[in-house]
């Protein structure tokens, strides 16, 4: 089976299995998703969702965060790990949003990557979830499952996995597919235990099993 054919089957089956997959970070504004994505590095989304309400209680706007003392931000976000660097990036990012982009989150990959603390994974999440643009978010689940299933071959570099998936996944399906790979990676195709292949909707087409 060619990889494009495999990708279409995977998209179809995961859509049936996880029809309501979505971003698991809570946000009601694009800039808040930027903040949460930065905090989510090496931290669970659940922990980030617990912490950000306290952050926004003290700093409710882009401007207030841009003017914040980094140490005050660090004190709040420390439970997410890497508090000093994350606080520094968040404050710098909000300053750039305010001063360069009139407090609006930009909608191009190039502009997003220019923001402090924003890499391709974060930029793709913003482009896909906020702006509805074609996006491939290669988090650890997407990388692990893409290799196991056979969508990519022995590739662990996030950017290379992203580019490989862009060649075989229809642009309009990429963002939702990546959310569903996260759900499937947590529920069935797990990392810390043996994957539950006996209850996997992809068992008969997965490279690991055939």
Residues carrying an active site annotation = 121, 139
Distance CA 54, CA 91 (A): 16
The three state secondary structure string of 118-153 is CCHHHHHHHHHHHCCCCCCCCCHHHHHHHHHHCCCC
Round to whole Å and give the CA distance between 27 and 23.
9
Sign of the torsion angle spanned by Cα atoms 116, 44, 193, 196 = negative
d(CA 131, CA 137): 14
82 within 8 A of 42, measured Cβ to Cβ? yes
Indicate the helix (H) or strand (E) that contains 13: helix 3-17
């Amino acid at each position: 089976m060619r990889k494009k054919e495999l990708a279409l089957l995977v998209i179809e089956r995961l859509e049936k299995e996880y029809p309501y997959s979505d971003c698991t970070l809570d946000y009601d504004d694009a800039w808040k998703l930027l903040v949460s994505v930065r905090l989510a590095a090496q931290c669970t989304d659940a922990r980030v969702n617990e912490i950000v309400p306290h952050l926004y209680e003290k700093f409710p706007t882009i401007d207030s965060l841009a003017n914040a003392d980094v140490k005050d931000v660090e004190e709040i976000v420390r439970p997410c790990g890497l508090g000093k660097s994350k606080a520094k990036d968040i404050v710098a990012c909000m300053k750039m949003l305010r001063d360069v982009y009139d407090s609006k989150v930009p909608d191009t990959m190039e502009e997003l990557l220019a923001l402090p603390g924003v890499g391709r994974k974060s930029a793709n999440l913003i482009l896909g979830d906020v702006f509805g643009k074609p996006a491939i978010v290669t988090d650890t689940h997407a990388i692990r499952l893409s290799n196991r299933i056979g969508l990519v071959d022995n590739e662990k570099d996030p950017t290379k996995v992203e580019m490989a998936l862009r060649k075989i996944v229809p642009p309009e399906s990429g963002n939702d597919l990546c959310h569903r790979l996260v759900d499937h990676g947590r529920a069935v195709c797990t990392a810390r235990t043996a994957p539950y292949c006996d209850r996997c909707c992809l068992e008969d087409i997965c490279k690991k099993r055939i």
